[in-house]
A and B are shown apart, each in its own frame.
Chain A
Amino acid sequence: MGGRTLYDKLFDEHVVATPPGEPTLLYIDLHLVHEVTSPQAFDGLRLNGRRVRRPDRTLATADHNVPTDPPAVPVADPVSRRQLEVLEENCAEFGVTLFPRGDANQGIVHVIGPELGVSQPGMTIVCGDSHTSTHGALGALAFGIGTSEVEHVLATQTLPQQRARTMAVTLEGRLAPGVSAKDLVLAIIERLGTGGGAGHVIEYRGEAIRALSMEGRMTVCNMSIEAGARAGLIAVDETTIEYLRGRPGVPEGPPFDEAAARWRTYVSDDDAAFDAEVVIDAAALSPRVTWGTNPAQVVALDGVVPSPEDAGSDEERDAVERALAYMGLTPGTPLREVGVDVVFIGSCTNSRLEDLRAAAAVVAGRSVAAGVRALVVPGSHRVKAAAEAEGLDRVFAAAGFEWREPGCSMCLGMNPDQLKPGQRCASTSNRNFEGRQGRGGRTHLVSPAVAAATAIAGRFAAPAEVAP
């Protein structure tokens, strides 16, 4: 028998039952819950007289709806407020640990899982949220599920799953200075397309991945879904182990060393075969910007808005035309000449300490361009506190950025942080869909450093262009 991929190892270790003619029943180690995709699932439990099977494998936080005002400011929107209250009621009733708005551990679900050390190598992790793929950076099988599946996991701690196909995406060489994990993943999506990873679990490998910090690896795995893949994986190495050491959910002393020894086995065997392989020259990459309304519509920051004439098919030409019309862009315009109204630094893709440091380094001593609204929304209270301890909040505030409370915020505009129709935003989030950040809003996905430079220049810019 040939070697096994990391995915195969994770899958095989969690098989509970293999009923003939049915999908495999897979055990779920950790179920993360938030307010948006859980109310109907808890309702389903109540209707059927079921309980949460493993509250000790379930963790909830409020993130999607929370306003980013200080916690003392009440939630103005009654529908959002009700949804947050319902989460509190459900967690109390079913015995689930919850970090509500204002709690020291609260934050975006995909930021707090890793930072609290509850997401660990070798686990199966699910959440009613497609960016659950983020946790794959730790060598865990992590994927998003719908509300019916949330109810299923709450009730049974299992999920029926077909084995996915595997895809190795190898990033050769090292990223050039000024090129970040976000640029890397945008380039991967540009290459694979929005459907290229469908039906697959992607394992990211190669020198560029090994050289990334855990934060950078999470940024890459986070956007696996944008290439259609339900999960992304990165093999465990010493970067993973050192990231986990000392985190609250992780044991200390000899039990940590035992755990670490086990975690080191979560790598693909050298002779493992993948169903698909893609190789990308990471060393050749430059900063990226999306120009359209799906995350594969990517160009180099040095490039120009593409033309429908270059499309390969009629359908593609229609799609490009529709996207250009929505985005209010003219083919051939250099990205550097496109001005922005709003800059958003945040979301589960890029709201960790390293992201905020990268942005702060660019804005230090500079000012946000006139007429631009720029906001920073840390991914969690822990990130916020750590950033404040380093004085990053003062750097941002001095430059004219708003420094806000943690949550999903303008990533999806469920709270009051929204674009107005026609506003153009440089955003460190993961989706540039029509209306994603507010009805009629125009989103361009970029890295934290490019977002910061763009805030200073008032148009798309690289950090070097705004250096003092």
Chain B
Amino acid sequence: MRPVRVVEGRAVPLGRNDVDTDQIIPSEWLKRVERTGFGRGLFSEWRDDPDFVLNRPEYAGATILIGAERFGTGSSREHAVWALLDYGFAAVVASSFGDIFANNAAKQGLVIVRLEPAALAELVALVTADPARHVTVDVERLVVEVPDAGWHHAFALEPMTRERLLQGWDDIGLSLRHEAEITAFESRHGGETPVARLAAR
């Protein structure tokens, strides 16, 4: 994973609650065995509508997506995160997130920013008034800023999630530091497993 310190760019407000991962990337896209190329599938059913916010030229090239309540609920598909990243988003700001989606995002370096609804509404108003505005998500300082409006708001990240983003750490490598403990656990927690029993029949 590449380290992420600061995300900056235009921010596009989606303006919907309960955006589930089936909407972010419909299931027809889940048949692919690759990890890349999912950007074309991002919100594909909504993108058919020429007025859909991602189709508006003033938000072209946005790097920050602004959701609302419960962004990324539903299916565990990590493809949703891959699609957002592949499309060019590097951070999602919303007032709440689906648990699995937020986990997947952390693993892939997509920054998840939780803002309380009032602060979120201020941010949406700013980027709606002037879509060209630059927004900054600073992972190091844990703050979202709209510099030209003098607006800023702090956000929280689990210390470990923040550290992983800043360092670009690979989770598997981190866990394998505990190889000896895993092996010790397995020797206490032994015996024939149900899968082995099944396979032996």
Interface residues of B in 3-43 (CB under 8 A from A): 16-18, 20, 22-23, 26-28, 30-35
Interface residues of A in 142-178 (CB under 8 A from B): 144-149, 151-152, 155-160, 162
Pairwise interchain contact A30-B100, C-beta atoms closer than 8 A: no
Pairwise interchain contact B32-A158, C-beta atoms closer than 8 A: no
**List of B residues within 8 angstroms of A412 by Cβ:** 22, 27, 75
CB contact under 8 A between A158 and B175, given known A25-B181, A40-B35: yes
* Cα A82 to Cα B99 with chains together (Å): 30
- Is residue B129 contacting chain A, with contact meaning CB distance below 8 A? no
Pairwise interchain contact A148-B194, C-beta atoms closer than 8 A: no
CB contact under 8 A between A146 and B107, given known A64-B30, A158-B178, A294-B20: yes
Pairwise interchain contact B198-A27, C-beta atoms closer than 8 A: no
Pairwise interchain contact B99-A435, C-beta atoms closer than 8 A: no
Main secondary structure of the interface of B (DSSP, over half): helix
Which B-chain residue is minimally distant from A86 (CB atoms)?
Answer: B33
**List of A residues within 8 angstroms of B176 by Cβ:** 155-156
Pairwise interchain contact A434-B22, C-beta atoms closer than 8 A: yes
Pairwise interchain contact A145-B160, C-beta atoms closer than 8 A: no
> Which of A17, A25, A39, A250 is B194 in contact with, Cβ under 8 Å?
A250
Q: With both chains docked as a complex, state the minimum distance between the C-beta of B74 and any C-beta of chain A, in angstroms.
A: 6
Q: With both chains docked as a complex, state the minimum distance between the C-beta of A309 and any C-beta of chain B, in angstroms.
A: 18
CB contact under 8 A between A148 and B171, given known A162-B158, A414-B31, A439-B45: yes
- Is residue B159 contacting chain A, with contact meaning CB distance below 8 A? yes
Q: Encode contact with A along B167-201: 1 for CB under 8 Å, 0 otherwise.
A: 00001101111100110011001000111111101
Q: Encode contact with B along A183-199: 1 for CB under 8 Å, 0 otherwise.
A: 00000000000110011
Pairwise interchain contact A30-B30, C-beta atoms closer than 8 A: no
Interface size on A, residues (CB 8 A): 80
* Cα A60 to Cα B106 with chains together (Å): 26
CB contact under 8 A between A230 and B100, given known A79-B31, A130-B74, A160-B175: yes
Q: With both chains docked as a complex, state the minimum distance between the C-beta of A415 and any C-beta of chain B, in angstroms.
A: 10
> Which of A23, A147, A431 is B74 in contact with, Cβ under 8 Å?
A431
Pairwise interchain contact A228-B182, C-beta atoms closer than 8 A: no
Pairwise interchain contact B182-A158, C-beta atoms closer than 8 A: yes
Which A-chain residue is minimally distant from B77 (CB atoms)?
Answer: A37
- Is residue B68 contacting chain A, with contact meaning CB distance below 8 A? yes
Which A-chain residue is minimally distant from B69 (CB atoms)?
Answer: A195
* Cα A433 to Cα B72 with chains together (Å): 12
- Is residue A310 contacting chain B, with contact meaning CB distance below 8 A? no
Pairwise interchain contact B194-A433, C-beta atoms closer than 8 A: no
Q: With both chains docked as a complex, state the minimum distance between the C-beta of B188 and any C-beta of chain A, in angstroms.
A: 10
Pairwise interchain contact B198-A436, C-beta atoms closer than 8 A: no
- Is residue A117 contacting chain B, with contact meaning CB distance below 8 A? yes
Pairwise interchain contact B69-A83, C-beta atoms closer than 8 A: no
Pairwise interchain contact A27-B185, C-beta atoms closer than 8 A: yes
> Which of A40, A83, A148, A195 is B96 in contact with, Cβ under 8 Å?
A195
Pairwise interchain contact A249-B198, C-beta atoms closer than 8 A: yes
Pairwise interchain contact B73-A431, C-beta atoms closer than 8 A: no
* Cα A159 to Cα B106 with chains together (Å): 14
- Is residue A102 contacting chain B, with contact meaning CB distance below 8 A? no
> Which of B31, B70, B186 is A80 in contact with, Cβ under 8 Å?
B31
> Which of B16, B160, B185, B201 is A16 in contact with, Cβ under 8 Å?
B185
Which B-chain residue is minimally distant from A105 (CB atoms)?
Answer: B198
**List of A residues within 8 angstroms of B182 by Cβ:** 16-17, 25, 27, 156-158
CB contact under 8 A between A198 and B99, given known A17-B181, A148-B107: yes
* Cα A198 to Cα B76 with chains together (Å): 14
Which B-chain residue is minimally distant from A229 (CB atoms)?
Answer: B99
Binds B, one of A50-58, A279-287, A369-377: A50-58
**List of B residues within 8 angstroms of A39 by Cβ:** 33
**List of B residues within 8 angstroms of A80 by Cβ:** 31
Pairwise interchain contact A195-B73, C-beta atoms closer than 8 A: yes
Of B28, B69, B104, B201, most buried by chain A (CB within 10 Å of CB) is: B28
Which B-chain residue is minimally distant from A294 (CB atoms)?
Answer: B18
Known: A30-B194, A230-B100, A413-B27. 17 other contacts (CB 8 A): A19-B178, A36-B30, A48-B172, A54-B193, A58-B195, A59-B195, A97-B198, A130-B100, A148-B171, A149-B104, A151-B172, A156-B172, A156-B182, A158-B178, A194-B73, A198-B96, A250-B197
Closest 7 CB pairs of A and B: A249-B194, A146-B104, A148-B107, A146-B78, A39-B33, A118-B194, A147-B78
A-B contact pairs, 13 of them (CB 8 A): A16-B181, A22-B174, A25-B178, A29-B193, A83-B32, A120-B194, A146-B100, A152-B171, A250-B197, A433-B74, A434-B45, A435-B45, A436-B27
